[in-house]
């Protein structure tokens, strides 16, 4: 890179925690970090080569080119309205569910979306090469620079619109948040019955390996897949003191039965 692109972050949550250092390591310069929580901003700047903590959303004197909002979805529109940017700045959000129009009241037309499809937690390192990045942009300049950022991080970069990105995000909630929550419930049931959660780990590993290998539809097994109503009833009876979990058991089992025996 001839002149490095300067970048500022708004937000210091799980995504910023991984994305800012990853860009830093690829030769971009992270100049500033703003966060509602100054302690979080400080912790993140410590992971970066030359970033400073920013106390307000007035970036009028900033020399950054790209402003990446890694904030909760409901904060995007407000911050876009409030933020004061230098001339020709590019403002992007990183949300799967929010359309690019969420940024429309910002004082720039140089708008974009930079959506890395992954689950980020501060305590688990991420290899960005394996994280697909989805780009949307309102200007050619924004597209060019976001594509450059994305390609230097990831081997899988796609341009998609806001509607497709939303569908992708809903699918991702099932694939990641909900599949993980099934493991949380499994762990709870094991603990409530003084059984060792470790015993389930080979099953979990094989379930995912098989699902990747055969496809999840072909990999399905279990009493609902076999429409074994007697077992389903006995499991619901077992869960009768825990209505929310019984309800989850019921609606998922019904959907498995319907997918295999109808349509």
Which of the residues 71 through 130 are near its own copies (CB under 8 A)?
72-74, 97, 117-121, 123-124, 126, 130
Dihedral, 95, 141, 107, 23 alpha carbons, nearest 10: 50
Residue 251 binds its own copies (CB under 8 A): yes
CA distance 4 to 145: 11
Residue 162 binds its own copies (CB under 8 A): no
Stretch 175-204 residues interacting with its own copies (CB under 8 A): 175-187, 189-190, 192-193, 195, 199-204
Residue 147 binds its own copies (CB under 8 A): no
Buried b (16+ CB within 10 A) or exposed e, 148-159: bbbebbbeebbe
Candidate list 139, 247, 261, 263; residue touching its own copies; CB under 8 A: 247
In sequence order, the β-bridge partners of residue 113 are 93, 136
- Part of the chain binding its own copies (CB under 8 A), chosen from 28-36, 50-58, 139-147, 229-237: 229-237
Helix H or strand E segment including 113: strand 111-116
Provide, rounded to whole angstroms, the least separation between the CB of residue 163 and its own copies: 8
Provide, rounded to whole angstroms, the least separation between the CB of residue 125 and its own copies: 10
Q: Is the Cβ of residue 87 or residue 217 nearer to its own copies in the bound state?
A: 217
Of the candidates 234, 227, 215, which has an alpha carbon nearest to the alpha carbon of residue 258? 227
């Amino acid at each position: 890179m001839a002149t490095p692109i300067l970048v500022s972050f708004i937000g210091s949550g799980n995504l910023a925690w991984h994305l800012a250092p990853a860009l830093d390591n690829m030769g971009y310069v992270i100049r500033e970090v703003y966060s509602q929580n100054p302690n979080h901003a400080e912790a993140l700047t410590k992971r970066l080569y030359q970033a400073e903590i920013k106390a307000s959303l007035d970036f009028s004197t900033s020399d950054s080119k790209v402003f990446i909002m890694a904030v909760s979805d409901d904060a995007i529109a407000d911050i876009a309205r409030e933020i004061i940017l230098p001339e020709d700045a590019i403002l992007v959000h990183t949300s799967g569910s929010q359309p690019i129009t969420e940024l429309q009241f910002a004082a720039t037309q140089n708008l974009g979306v930079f959506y890395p499809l992954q689950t980020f937690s501060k305590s688990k390192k991420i290899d960005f090469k394996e994280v697909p990045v989805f780009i949307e942009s309102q200007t050619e300049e924004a597209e060019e620079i976001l594509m450059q950022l994305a390609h230097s991080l990831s081997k899988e970069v796609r341009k998609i619109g806001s509607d497709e990105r939303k569908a992708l995000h809903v699918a991702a909630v099932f694939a990641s948040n909900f599949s993980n929550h099934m493991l949380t419930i499994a762990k709870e049931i094991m603990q409530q019955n003084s059984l060792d959660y470790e015993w389930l780990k080979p099953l979990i590993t094989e379930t995912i390996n098989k699902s990747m290998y055969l496809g999840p539809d072909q990999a399905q097994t279990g009493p609902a897949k076999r429409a074994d109503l007697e077992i389903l009833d006995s499991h619901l009876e077992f869960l009768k003191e825990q209505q929310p979990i019984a309800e989850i058991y019921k609606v998922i089992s019904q959907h498995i039965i319907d997918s295999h025996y109808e349509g």
